[in-house]
A and B are shown apart, each in its own frame.
Chain A
Amino acid sequence: MTDQGMLQHLLAAPGTEPTLASFNTEIWWMVLLKAGMVFAFLLLTTIFMIWFERRVIGRMQNRPGPNRAGPFGLLQPVADALKLPLKEDIIPRSADKLIFVIAPVISATMAFIGFSVIPWGPEVSIFHHQTPLQLADLPVAVLVILAMSSIGVYGLVLAGWASGSPYSLLGALRSAAQVISYEIAMGLAFVAVFLYAGSLSTSAIVAAQNNGWFFWELPVSFVIYLFTMVGETNRLPFDLPEGEGELVAGYHTEYSSMKFAMFYLAEYINMTTVAALATTLFLGGWRAPWPISLWSGANTGWWPLLWFLIKVFILLFGYVWLRGTLPRVRYDQLMALGWKVLIPVSIVWILFIAVIRAWKLNFNSTAIYAVAGLVFVLLIIMVMAWDEAAQQRAARNAPTEASPQPAVAGPGQPAAPAFPVPPLDLPHYHGTGVEPGNSATPAREVTGA
């Protein structure tokens, strides 16, 4: 970059707000440096999250969690990371070898690329060069993350198919259906942000939140995004593609060693990326939260990186909290939530937001909020009345209450047997059961024949 280019660049972007133009004048080693920073950050976050998740869930379940390797068990993920690649790398005989090998690579690569458009901070000085703390930006940067997550699913789906095992295939089918469904709702949650920010570029979206986070203006979009981000990353309570109670481990049942590690890595990086995207779109990106933002220096220099990381890790803690608290939902419940709740609510919300936006731009009056509130209350009343009517209709049409015991035979039906009920009183309920050690034959160790 010439000095003249530098000058133009500085003139084009006064202050510390990076714009799209800031990214056209990047020096090659700066891009490499920032790419290295993103790579290292994602790897370190994954390692930290493994320890953090196990410790926090341990605390939530009244046990200490890993506490042997290093202080507070901090070296446990290092031990895991060393152990995993040293395990035997098994490729099943029935597997489609090439795709079996490529699938985890697709997953992990796409996870890394998605993070490149996340802004970490404003323009800072690195080796006397002013540069935005963001690897890349595009006029359609948010779509890059959506695109990368939709290609990343190929990794899961192909892994499940190429393994040649029924459990893997079922996991792959589930993940395909789940991600397509939740991606629609996720895209719709973005639309309101695009309307308010007037741009799809992540740096412009952060710049648009100068006067207030979109979390306050678009709470419905934020809540919908929170649901979809858990669904997109296949985490509890939406981790059906790998539901270990039903599918052993789902799509990565047959994977071991380094290939399994790549899926693991991809899952944690995806979590970090969607949490960082939530921060960027709804929580003001790298902007300081309220009491700190009163300090004039809060949004300059390297400080914003700290605010950004705090917000991201609060969201990541939410992931761990969900996992420690909620059971896995059933598959039909997952699909019903996605298609019958999240998508219709998003569409209605976008209509609502678009009307408010158009009105504000054209009439610039605060009466719109009164009208909007009135319409909202009317809508709620209509939905409640409709629900009441539906319930009354259902109550009228419902058959009379069936008897609690199915032993009563209907006309022309044989009597069904009674439900088995365990005996209500047994000796060992009172501590007077079979005495230990009175078995007729002593237990003997048996070796295989």
Chain B
Amino acid sequence: MTGVLAAGTNTDSVAVETVFWILAVVAVAAALAMILVRRAVHCAIMLAVVMLCLATMYAMQGAPFLAFVQIIVYTGAVLMLFLFVIMLIGITAADSIVETIKGQRLAAGLAAIGLLVLLALGIGHAAIGPAAPPSPKYGSGNLTGIATLIFTTYVFPFEVTGALLITAALGAMVLAHRERIAPRPTQRDLAARRLASGQVVGDPPPGIYALHDSADRPALLPDGSPAASSVSSVLNPRTGTEPPQVVRPGEKPQLEAADGGEREPAPSAGSGRAES
């Protein structure tokens, strides 16, 4: 924070230069890593690192507002949405890398050449031409400066951009909209449907009366057979679902005592319920 303030007053140029060179290395390395790593989530994290480096550089140039807006809007919201979608649909390294767009390589190459030309022109212009004025022209702080520019000189482009963004958001909503054909089922409808389905309560939890208290061990029904619906469909139910060795010939099964060795003797009200 003190570095940021020092940069704002141009008092400590050595520190600014040092931080710049550290950040430059980190940013370029992260940008390269973003292209080279295989997992989509790692790419997103590398992109976040690049964005944070850029934000710090904005702050060093005396533009703290831009820096924190960059962090809040791009890192905090836009990239977080990317990450959200990546995690939601679960892209993995094993995904297909077949190119679906025709001539993508040619187009990408042309775009890369165009970008290089633009960069060369921009850097050359900055290196050869006169340096930009060091102090902002509008207002004292960069916050009022930006506000003045947006609401005077650039008010029309600003409003047009706003209209474009709203149109895009509305378009996305229209495209994703689905007309509700049937009325939304009420709680009463849902209850009636559940009764009609034959299963009134939810699935039984796993592991009850089984030997191991683990999520992939099916519960046992009163007759000793495993209840398949008690294990989540993403797990493989363990085989060997025989009940623990508590039933001896001529004895009634004691189901309470079977799920843990160190228990107190089972309350007899419970065993009465199990027997009936």
Q: What residues of chain A have their CB less than 8 Å away from a CB belonging to chain B? A: 23-24, 26, 31, 96, 99, 116-117, 135-136, 138-140, 143-144, 146-147, 150-151, 153-154, 157-158, 160-161, 166, 169, 172-173, 176-177, 179-180, 183, 187, 200, 402, 406, 414, 416-420, 433-434, 436-449
Q: A138-B5, A443-B265 are in contact. Are A144 and B195 (CB under 8 A)?
A: no
A/B interface sample: 20 pairs, CB < 8 A: A31-B2, A96-B39, A139-B143, A140-B64, A151-B52, A153-B76, A157-B84, A180-B77, A183-B72, A406-B188, A406-B196, A436-B269, A441-B254, A443-B266, A443-B271, A444-B257, A445-B262, A446-B257, A448-B211, A448-B261
A116–B2 CA distance with the chains assembled, in angstroms: 11
The 10 nearest A-B residue pairs measured at CB: A150-B76, A136-B1, A443-B265, A406-B192, A143-B68, A147-B71, A439-B268, A443-B266, A434-B272, A447-B261
A150 touches B72 (CB 8 A): yes
B19 at the interface (CB under 8 A from A): no
| Segment touching A, from B114-122, B149-157, B245-253 | B245-253
Closest to B81 in A: A180
Closest to B264 in A: A443
A446 touches B246 (CB 8 A): yes
Contact residues of B between 236 and 276, Cβ < 8 Å to A: 244-246, 251-252, 254, 256-258, 261-263, 265-269, 271-272, 275
User: In the complex, which residues of chain B have a beta carbon less than 8 angstroms from the beta carbon of A440?
Assistant: 252, 275
A179–B83 CA distance with the chains assembled, in angstroms: 13
Prevailing SS type, chain A contact patch: loop
- Other-chain residue from A147, A166, A416 in contact with B76 (beta carbon distance below 8 A): A147
User: In the complex, which residues of chain A have a beta carbon less than 8 angstroms from the beta carbon of B256?
Assistant: 443
Q: A151-B76, A153-B80, A447-B261 are in contact. Are A140 and B65 (CB under 8 A)?
A: yes
Chain B nearest CB, measured from A4 CB (Å) = 14
User: In the complex, which residues of chain B have a beta carbon less than 8 angstroms from the beta carbon of A138?
Assistant: 1, 4-5, 64
User: In the complex, which residues of chain A have a beta carbon less than 8 angstroms from the beta carbon of B251?
Assistant: 441
Chain B nearest CB, measured from A240 CB (Å) = 15
A417 touches B196 (CB 8 A): yes
Q: A150-B80, A161-B41, A180-B81 are in contact. Are A143 and B196 (CB under 8 A)?
A: no
B9 at the interface (CB under 8 A from A): yes
User: In the complex, which residues of chain A have a beta carbon less than 8 angstroms from the beta carbon of B71?
Assistant: 147, 150-151
B69 touches A143 (CB 8 A): yes
A144 touches B68 (CB 8 A): yes
User: In the complex, which residues of chain B have a beta carbon less than 8 angstroms from the beta carbon of A416?
Assistant: 192, 195-196
B45 touches A99 (CB 8 A): yes
User: In the complex, which residues of chain A have a beta carbon less than 8 angstroms from the beta carbon of B84?
Assistant: 157, 173, 176-177
A444 touches B234 (CB 8 A): no
For the A-B complex with A139-B141, A146-B68, A200-B65 known, give 16 more contacts whose Cβ atoms are closer than 8 Å: A140-B64, A147-B68, A147-B75, A151-B75, A151-B76, A157-B80, A161-B87, A176-B87, A406-B195, A437-B268, A439-B268, A441-B252, A441-B271, A443-B271, A444-B246, A445-B265
Closest to B257 in A: A446
User: In the complex, which residues of chain A have a beta carbon less than 8 angstroms from the beta carbon of B143?
Assistant: 139-140, 200
Chain B nearest CB, measured from A22 CB (Å) = 11
User: In the complex, which residues of chain A have a beta carbon less than 8 angstroms from the beta carbon of B76?
Assistant: 146-147, 150-151, 153, 180, 183
Chain A nearest CB, measured from B186 CB (Å) = 9
A434–B267 CA distance with the chains assembled, in angstroms: 11
User: In the complex, which residues of chain B have a beta carbon less than 8 angstroms from the beta carbon of A99?
Assistant: 41-42, 45
Closest to A35 in B: B1
B191 at the interface (CB under 8 A from A): yes
A439 touches B271 (CB 8 A): yes
User: In the complex, which residues of chain B have a beta carbon less than 8 angstroms from the beta carbon of A420?
Assistant: 195, 200
Chain A nearest CB, measured from B176 CB (Å) = 15
Closest to A138 in B: B64
User: In the complex, which residues of chain A have a beta carbon less than 8 angstroms from the beta carbon of B41?
Assistant: 96, 99, 158, 161
B87 touches A172 (CB 8 A): yes
User: In the complex, which residues of chain A have a beta carbon less than 8 angstroms from the beta carbon of B257?
Assistant: 443-446
A140 touches B68 (CB 8 A): yes
Closest to B195 in A: A417
A140–B141 CA distance with the chains assembled, in angstroms: 10
A419 touches B195 (CB 8 A): yes
Chain B nearest CB, measured from A340 CB (Å) = 14
A147–B69 CA distance with the chains assembled, in angstroms: 8
A183–B1 CA distance with the chains assembled, in angstroms: 23
Closest to B48 in A: A154
A41–B141 CA distance with the chains assembled, in angstroms: 32
User: In the complex, which residues of chain A have a beta carbon less than 8 angstroms from the beta carbon of B244?
Assistant: 446, 448-449
A146 touches B72 (CB 8 A): yes
Closest to A23 in B: B5
A176 touches B192 (CB 8 A): no
A31–B1 CA distance with the chains assembled, in angstroms: 10
B188 touches A439 (CB 8 A): no
- Other-chain residue from A140, A437, A449 in contact with B245 (beta carbon distance below 8 A): A449
User: In the complex, which residues of chain B have a beta carbon less than 8 angstroms from the beta carbon of A144?
Assistant: 68
Closest to B261 in A: A447
B191 touches A419 (CB 8 A): yes
Chain A nearest CB, measured from B123 CB (Å) = 29
A441–B256 CA distance with the chains assembled, in angstroms: 12
B175 at the interface (CB under 8 A from A): no
- Other-chain residue from A24, A406, A447 in contact with B9 (beta carbon distance below 8 A): A24
B87 touches A173 (CB 8 A): yes
B172 at the interface (CB under 8 A from A): no
By CB atoms of chain B within 10 A, which of A116, A173, A434 has the most? A434
User: In the complex, which residues of chain A have a beta carbon less than 8 angstroms from the beta carbon of B48?
Assistant: 154
A143 touches B65 (CB 8 A): yes
